Amino acid sequence: MKYLKFLLPMGIFLVLVLFLGAGLKLDPKEVPSPLIGKPAPAFALARLDAPEQKIARDDLLGQVWMLNVWASWCVACRQEHPLLVEFSKAKTLPIYGLNYKDQRAAGLKWLADFGNPYTASLSDLDGRVGIDFGVYGVPETFIIDREGVVRFKHIGPVTPEVIRTQIEPLVRKLNG
């Protein structure tokens, strides 16, 4: 019994090592979204291509849709963009773009140069809607369901794997 207290340091240490080992597989900087399962934040923004028209959150109720946050100054967005253009052709769900902290002309030109997968893009000039969505690193992608509840968030460029294993099954589930 007396020997037990001498084994304590070893015991605590081994538990610690287990956690440190688990930690090696985690990313300390990845921020999970608190919005999952909650209604998408309200917004009413001007369309990028037709600024006199506005689209509000409630206009999009009744359908499952994807919100993709992008900007012409964002390097990583170039990486995922061809994938989104391809994906939009399958018409799985409407993709709306959130042009985050960008200039209209620059945004329009970017879409003209690299393709436009979006049903419409919204201009978030000062980034406030982005803040409401908890955006901190562009690109980010959300999926919102029929009731306007956020169901999924992906941080960073979308990959074919994410589309295949996470987005498509989720959309099927939310639709059917």
Please provide residue 143's backbone torsions phi and psi, each rounded to the nearest 5 degrees. Answer: -120, 130
* Residue 20 binding another protein, by CB under 8 A: yes
Q: How far apart are CA 87 and CA 144, in angstroms?
A: 17
Q: Which stretch binds another protein (CB under 8 A): 87-95, 128-136, 139-147, 162-170?
A: 128-136
Burial of 160 (0-12, 13-18, 19+ CB in 10 A): exposed
CB of 29 to another protein, least distance (A): 5
* The only residue of 77, 93, 105, 132 in contact with another protein, by rule CB under 8 A: 132
Residue 12 or 50 having the CB closest to another protein: 12
Residue 39 interacting with another protein (CB under 8 A): no
- Cα angle 69, 70, 72; round to 5: 165
Per CB under 8 A, 161 contacts another protein: no
Cβ proximity of 85 and 113 under 8 Å: no
Pick from 70, 88, 122, 128 the residue near another protein by CB under 8 A: 128
In the complex, what is the shortest distance from the CB of residue 69 to another protein, in angstroms, rounded to a whole number?
A: 13
Does 31 help bind another protein (rule: CB under 8 A)? yes
**Structure tokens given for 136:** 């901190």
